[in-house]
Amino acid sequence: MGVGKTTLCQHLKRRLPGSVFLDGDWCWDSHPFQVTEETKAMVLTNICFLLNQFLRCSAYETVIFCWVLHQQDILDAILSSVRRPDCAVKAISLVCGERELTERLMRDVAAGIRTEDVVERSLSRLPLYEALNTWKVDTAGKTVEQIGEEIIALPENEDFSAPGSPREKRGNPSEIV
């Protein structure tokens, strides 16, 4: 959506020891891009499978995941699939103001990375992030290093003591990193 998810996650992957990075977009990279009930179910299955594979692998201490997550039910579906009792989660929404987001997206449009319709779509989703049970981290005017350190310092939102157990909510309630 233009707030810096992929750039930040690549930075965190290099910054945190024993890290692996999964971008949810990699689980749904198609042409033409089609949003149907079938493809939405498929991408969730793909993401949950890969997250659990990374979590089971003893080579990794930290699994970094990002995707445009603007609905709590999608976030909950992914989090409920985590099959590790010792897995701590930091659910984070990267946010910025309308003007900043528009400027970033229009730079991408000018560079041919995105199409113009992304601006309206992204702006319409901005208010949805406030309702998510995630940490909100404003990326405006900050370097990737500053944002990374801010995120590293955050406590975990959720503690999964057992699959399907109620999650203990801590801290402030928003995209998953």
Domains of the chain: 5-159 (3.40.50.300)
The whole-angstrom separation of Cα 102 and Cα 150 is: 24
* Average pLDDT of every residue of the chain: 87
Contact between 21 and 13 under an 8 Å Cβ cutoff? The reply is yes
The tokens for 93 are 């929404």
Q: Sorting pLDDT into bands at 50, 70 and 90, what band is 160?
A: very low
Q: How many CB atoms lie within 10 A of CB 22?
A: 19
CA angle 28, 54, 27 (to 5 degrees): 0
Q: How many CB atoms lie within 10 A of CB 98?
A: 11
User: Per residue in 111-128, pLDDT tens?
Assistant: 999 899 999 999 999 999
DSSP 112: T
Number of alpha carbons in the 13 Å side-chain half-sphere of residue 166: 3
Tell which wins on pLDDT, 68 or 172: 68
> Which contiguous run of DSSP H or E holds residue 88?
strand 88-89
- Tell me what pLDDT residue 158 has: 53
The whole-angstrom separation of Cα 41 and Cα 81 is: 13
Average pLDDT on 79-83 reads 88
State the maximum Cα–Cα separation within the chain, in Å, rounded to a whole number: 47
